[in-house]
Amino acid sequence: MHIVVLGMNHKTASVELRERVSLSEDALERLLQELRDSRTVMESVVLSTCNRTELYALVNSIRAGQDYLLTRFAGMAGLDKSLVESSTYFIQGEQAVAHAMRVASGLDSVVVGETQILGQMRTAFQTAFEAGNTGAMFNRLFREVIHVGKRAQAETTIGQSPVSVSYAAVQLASKFFGDMSNRKALVVGAGHMGELALVHLHALGVRHLVVANRTLERAQSLTETVSATVISLADVAGALAQFDVVISATGAPGYTIQALDVELAMKMRKHQSMVLLDIAMPRDIDPAVGALSGAYLYDVDDLDGVIEANLQERKRQAAVVESMIAESVDAFSKWLTEQEVVPLITALREKGLSIQQGVMDSLLRKLPDLTERDRKVLNKHTMSIVNQILRDPIQNVKELAMASGDAEYVSLFAQLFGIDESSLQSPGASVTGATAHFASEGTFVELFQRMRGEAKRLSEDKRVIHPVLR
């Protein structure tokens, strides 16, 4: 079996194409049903957001899996496969697992470190789980993926440094004044950037918020989510004196806030500090304001330095998250191998118990006059013999399989101890499909020689990956 992902995101496809493969709730339900009915896909999870659509699948053939998933994508887009293929990416094995973890951690987002994607990944897995599209493999995988995403948020500051102009502007005002709860703020312009500024100010605890806009209806619509007062753009000049923070983002031609109006406001404030943040392009605030006493003016160029510094900090934090991801991929690989070893250990112990029980039955028939105490002593010691004989083989198969990440030794040990491989199929083993037959590859002596060579190599190379992740 192979873990793969076929996807399309903001890096590979236009917004128009991404919209065509974005899934409604009904469309997602239909796609999950198609994936469940497929003979190519064993398990699946579908992630669909505004910036990406990805199909995670456990497939029995990489080539067939890629073709099948691409066919599904083309159907969703209503386009020929060749047109869709150039805008998608296909990742398999260890890289697919790492990719899922990078997505959940926000490392593959438009804004590195954003946190919304973790909730979207959790919802995607939960939806697939409830629909019956996941099994032992993906249940474990996506719990690990979500765990890594949580660690990235809890143990690093990757999502805390502002990297949008609106957020940087608000954070700059916060650094200037400290506690913002008693400050009064004016947002001029009710467009997207003005709306974000209003939301960020509210999040910092600013209780006195005012929105000014040419169209009062648009400004009023922003107050549905954030409590704020609305005024007309024409009233801004006369109201400036009451505000500690002014953020302007209208994008209108000419200066919306004149230097003379700010100068009069500063006199009325008795020169108490005012921070003005011009995040519009072209600029909204007359640059001459920066020369006024007590007025601190910052424009987009000033904020670019803050944003760049924060982007560099996010990159440093991203390196920490990448280390977490590498650890989690290794842990998942070891879990895969454990699913191969556990059934063999169980089968060995059951066979040992069966042999011991057979010997005890024979002894009791031949020695019918044994006391109850004699029987207990014989049972204890015969069981001890079995345990001692099996102890080293069990330990060795665990260590060798865990070290190599390969199920070859599970099959070999099964042959050595005369265990039918069909009895080794557990839920974990069946999904990995890694058990193989090697009887035709040579004698047991040759196989043991290969094992010794492999053990020596593994002692020098500590990091190994399970075949499913290759």
The binding site consists of 49-52, 109, 114-116, 120, 189-194
Q: Which residue has the tokens 């500090």?
A: 273
In the chain, what is the straight-line distance between the N-terminal and C-terminal CA atoms, in Å? 10
Binding residues for NADP(+): 189-194
The token duo for 421 is 């491989």
Cα 129 versus chain centre, distance = 17
Ramachandran angles phi, psi of 305, nearest 5°: -65, -40
Q: Round to whole Å and give the CA distance between 357 and 379.
A: 8
Q: Round to whole Å and give the CA distance between 25 and 292.
A: 56
Give Cβ neighbours of residue 257 (< 8 Å, ≥ 6 apart): 188, 236, 237, 240, 246, 248, 276, 284, 285, 286, 289
Give Cβ neighbours of residue 53 (< 8 Å, ≥ 6 apart): 7, 8, 9, 18, 21, 22, 23, 46, 47, 73, 76
Contact between 43 and 58 (Cβ < 8 Å): yes
The continuous run of DSSP H or E covering 413 comes out as helix 408-416
Catalytic residues: 50
Q: Round to whole Å and give the CA distance between 153 and 160.
A: 9
Q: Round to whole Å and give the CA distance between 399 and 337.
A: 10
Measuring CA to CA, which residue among 144, 139, 137 is closest to residue 434?
A: 137
Q: Round to whole Å and give the CA distance between 445 and 451.
A: 10
